[in-house]
Amino acid sequence: MKRLTERDEAEINSILSREDEILPSSGFATSVMDAVRREATAPPPIPFPWKRALPGLVVGCFALVLVLVAGVRVIAQLDKATGPQASMSSPSVAPLLFHGGGIESAATWTVLALLLALVSVKLSVRLTSGRV
Amino acid sequence: MNASASDDQADVERVLAGDVSAFEGIVRRWQTPLVNLAYRFCHDRCRSEDMAQEAFLRAYRGLAQWRKDAVFSTWLFALATNLYRSELRRIPARTVSLEDIAEPPDTRASDRSLEDRDYDRDTTVRRAVFALPAKYREALTLFYFHDMDVTTAARSLGLPEGTVKARLFRGRDILRNKLPQLLAVPRLKEA
């Protein structure tokens, strides 16, 4: 790799240090102060409604944990039932869920998911309309 | 950049106490450096004023965050530099590639004055800096803006001094490699 000579360094330093100075336009400070005054008189930003959102967040987290725990249990049961060879040869877990848990189990999960979706939609609508 | 630090501190305290008009003192003291710094980033006069105005607004909003462990100007320049870099990442300035600017005008042409040739060479070097990759360009911009003070440039960029030195070295090295004919031609003043 080429090394910079001292003369090159001095040359570049000299050129780049001589950058022309520009002056702000005459109304610049006034324009900035207008913007600052607008900022000062603007109402403070609306804080996030943690109080209203907290129950929904807690329910959501709880439901998520429940779903995860249930999913892990189902997979563990399937592993036990089918053995290592069968689980390696099966391409997808989804069909096994229906075979293992039965049609009632699938229906329960569907209803639970629909209810959860309904609750989250209702909650978000209420939050946005401010009627909590 | 020789404004009184105590004036800055007094104005900041007045603004924090609720006197918004005291911010005008800060704007008037720092408008030229902030607009010039923005101009070195974008090379667009109109845009540099917009960027500087946004920097002042952000400074006003975050005035309480200045912890007074460094002088006000250091905090202000770091804030402005951060904003300008983000702004240029969001909407890049129009640049030309290093390959396209590596052809300086013919410095041997006899009908050109000495000043014209110097001007052409200076312009080419500046355009070459502007065409560098962002990290080298920013280091070089801040270094020369702060009168070749690596410590201040590093503070403005929020980087360790060693990193800035390495970027300066690499940036200059790219310039040297891309513009050999430019720096190799002896200046007529010296001849």
As a whole number of angstroms, the distance between CA B37 and CA B41 comes to 7
CA A3 centroid distance within chain: 48
Give the pLDDT confidence of B162-188 residue by residue, as tens digits. 999 999 989 988 888 877 665 555 444
What separation in angstroms does the CA of B106 have from each of B118, B150, B180, B182?
11, 35, 14, 10
Q: Residue A130 phi/psi, 5° resolution? A: 70, 35
Question: B129 vs A16: CB contact, 8 Å cut-off?
Answer: yes
Interface A–B counts its CB contacts (< 8 A) at 87
Give the pLDDT confidence of B61-115 residue by residue, as tens digits. 999 999 888 899 999 999 999 999 999 988 888 766 655 655 555 555 555 666 6
State which residues form the domain around A62.
50-129
In a domain, A1, yes or no: no
Tell me: do A106 and A57 sit in the same domain: yes
Question: B148 vs A37: CB contact, 8 Å cut-off?
Answer: no
Q: What mean pLDDT do residues A24-40 have?
A: 95
Question: A8 vs B172: CB contact, 8 Å cut-off?
Answer: yes
Q: CA angle B34-B39-B43, nearest 5°? A: 170
Domain limits, CATH 1.10.10.10, in chain B: 98-184
Contact list in A for residue B172 (CB cut-off 8 A) is 4, 8-9, 12
Question: B172 vs A35: CB contact, 8 Å cut-off?
Answer: no
* Residue in A31, A18, A37 with CA at minimum distance from that of residue B46: A31
Contact list in A for residue B24 (CB cut-off 8 A) is 29, 33
- Res A29: pLDDT: 96
A112-117 LR contacts (CB < 8 Å, sep 24+): A116/A63
Tell me: do A64 and A116 sit in the same domain: yes
ipTM: 0.78
- Among B136, B144, B174, the residue to mutate for chain A (most A Cβ within 10 A): B144
How does residue A108 score in pLDDT terms, banded at 50, 70 and 90?
confident
User: How big, in percent rounded to 5, are the helix, strand and coil portions of chain B?
Assistant: 70, 0, 30
As a whole number of angstroms, the distance between CA B82 and CA B77 comes to 8
Question: A21 vs B24: CB contact, 8 Å cut-off?
Answer: no
As a whole number of angstroms, the distance between CA A123 and CA A129 comes to 10
Q: B5-90: which CATH number, 3.40.50.620, 1.10.10.10, 1.10.1740.10, 2.80.10.50?
A: 1.10.1740.10
B98-184 has which fold? Arc Repressor Mutant, subunit A (1.10.10)
Dihedral sign for Cα atoms in the order A15, B113, B110, B189: negative
